[in-house]
Amino acid sequence: MKNNQTNEVVVRPPLFDRIFKPKTITLSNGHTVEKPMSRAPFIWAAVIAVVLISARMTGFDFRVIIERGGQLTYILSRIFHPDWSYFRGIFVEADRANAVKLFNALLDTIKMSIMGSMIGATLALPIAVLSSTNINKNKAVVWFFRIILMIIRTLPTLIIAKFASLIFGLGTYAGTVAIVVFTFGIVAKMMYESIETIDMGAFEATESFGANKFQAFWSACMPQILPTYLSYCLYSLEMNIRAAAILGYVGAGGLGILINEVIGWRDYESLGAILLGLFVVVFIIENTSQYLRRKLS
């Protein structure tokens, strides 16, 4: 490029504006301005077309909801009249069996998610470091791990749980494996995104003193990312409690087994009681974790 040329910036208009010419408006002082044509009609047309095609493919029919909407209340009203014996059992000897069943399943679910979150989050940290571009300069390794993380994240949890329960047998172990894989994918992704935003000055300074990469990372980057990391761990724990509750549907232990069982018996009053128990646990854990996360930030 020649330096003595004047730097005239030539803005090439986007393809859209070359096809649909912008409207030229002459102002009262003689200047002309161009008003590009609005994109909105095209976006609306595309959205409407997609909606119509989707409605055809899924057989969407609003009349069905109006005609048969009454059926909706059949199960919902039974869910909202829970079978209190599950909770009365804490105090009354006669209902003890139900209460024990519910509380064991709830404890299993909590234990599965705590264990799974911890292992998954621990495994995620080194991989997150390896897949962040500012610390790992090797492009090939970065993209290798990123693609693996992407594939792991795209697999639905229930499918992972199904695989795990086929390989490791029915029970909490399979559920824990599924949660580990799920947590690993999410925490590693969120971590490498936040590792890339940290201040690298301290890292370079420590390296210039002769520290190797690991020492430099440990003393210069770790203090910066630790609060975020712990906050992501707690966040993933919150999500995992909800996820763990339905993993049992494919035989991976916890509350889901109980849910599957009572649905099989069409016993929706018991389902209501189980969901109420789950609600209380989720509420407590979410609030505790949100409190801790506020403290961390």
Binding site for other proteins (CB under 8 A): 50-51, 53-55, 57-61, 64-65, 68-69, 71-72, 74-76, 79, 107-108, 110-112, 114-115, 118, 150-151, 153-159, 162-163, 165-173, 176, 242, 245-246, 249-250, 259, 263, 271, 275, 278-279, 282
Given the complex with other proteins, which of 45 and 72 has the nearer CB atom?
72
Give the residue carrying structure tokens 């020649």. 2
Question: How far apart are the C-alpha atoms of 16 and 39, rounded to whole Å?
Answer: 9
Given the complex with other proteins, which of 92 and 150 has the nearer CB atom?
150
Instruction: Give how far Cα 24 sits from Cα of 27, 31, 33, 53, Å.
Output: 10, 10, 6, 37
CB of residue 198 to other proteins, shortest distance in Å = 20
CB of residue 230 to other proteins, shortest distance in Å = 9
Instruction: Give how far Cα 81 sits from Cα of 70, 109, 238, 271, 292, Å.
Output: 17, 24, 27, 10, 34
CB of residue 113 to other proteins, shortest distance in Å = 8
Helices (H), 155-254: 157-168, 172-195, 201-208, 213-216, 222-247
Given the complex with other proteins, which of 47 and 92 has the nearer CB atom?
47
Instruction: Give how far Cα 296 sits from Cα of 26, 173, 190, 232, 293, Å.
Output: 57, 31, 17, 11, 5
CB of residue 52 to other proteins, shortest distance in Å = 10
Given the complex with other proteins, which of 90 and 166 has the nearer CB atom?
166
CB of residue 158 to other proteins, shortest distance in Å = 4
Given the complex with other proteins, which of 25 and 64 has the nearer CB atom?
64
H/E element holding 286? helix 268-296
